[in-house]
Amino acid sequence: MASTPEYQPFLKYSDDPAAEETSPPQHPVKRRTTVLSHVLVFVATSLVWGFVVFLIVPSPMPISSTQVSASTHPTILENHLAGIRHNVTSGKRLINCGNSTEEAKAQGCKYDILLNHWVPGPCFDKESVDEYRDDNSWGAFSDINMTHRLTIDEMSNRDFYWTSIRDHINHCAIMWRRQFYVLFDERRAMDTVVTSPGHTEHCSQYLMDVTEGMFKEPTKTMRGFAGCWIKD
């Protein structure tokens, strides 16, 4: 029984030998049609590959904003290359409290128990100080055993005092919040502890290293005199 030929529609090809034997001779017109078909296939294929290459080859890189700003503001670029960075204190003037309690009081500074520093009036943040005091761990002591509690006035007049590590954690946490709101609210005044990379590094490392078993251990706290950056 003769097998039924299988056709592939796209290539117009049959695997039946009888079909080739019984096919009539090709006429010139048919040959020209075949050649034309090949040409059309070639052109279509070329167009497809051209489109593929267009998609694959990367387009020229656009000029970045850094390049534009570099050409427009050469001073900023020069400062960056020189290691001078524009930051939140740029364009602000600095006022301070001096280096003693007497100088601080004479200049109208206030003692900030969260900072452990005297700070100029415009930078005194009562809201964050109150939040800090709300934590029951708050407190300062004159001795390492933390038996004699100090008043705020006594704290402000001592070079150092003792407090618990839990209180130190509270200090770092509330300072982080203060720093956030100073930047978020774009406040015109910000103290030099908030803007200090050294203090930020210290507190972040402290929070990573401390363990719960250390909470009641004493830690020494130094009193200081902070400055205040003010935007006029």
Give the pLDDT of residue 136.
Answer: 79
Interstrand relation of 117-119 and 224-225 (parallel, antiparallel or unpaired): parallel
Q: What are the pLDDT tens digits along the chain (232 aa)?
A: 444 333 333 333 333 334 434 444 444 444 444 545 555 555 555 565 555 445 555 554 444 434 433 343 445 445 544 556 668 899 999 999 999 999 999 999 999 999 999 999 999 999 999 999 998 788 999 999 999 999 999 999 999 999 999 999 999 999 999 999 999 999 999 999 999 999 999 999 999 999 888 898 999 999 999 999 999 8
pLDDT at 213: 87
Q: Are 165 and 219 in contact (CB under 8 A)?
A: yes
> Cα separation of 228 and 100, whole Å?
16
Asked if 194 contacts 200 with a C-beta cutoff of 8 angstroms, the reply is: no
- Are residues 94 and 196 in contact, defined by beta-carbon separation less than 8 angstroms? no
Q: Say how far apart CA 22 and CA 5 lie, in whole Å.
A: 14
- Cα 128–chain centre separation: 24
The token duo for 93 is 């003037």
pLDDT value of position 159 = 96
Q: How far apart are CA 62 and CA 181, in angstroms?
A: 37
CA-nearest of 110, 113, 112 to 97 is 110
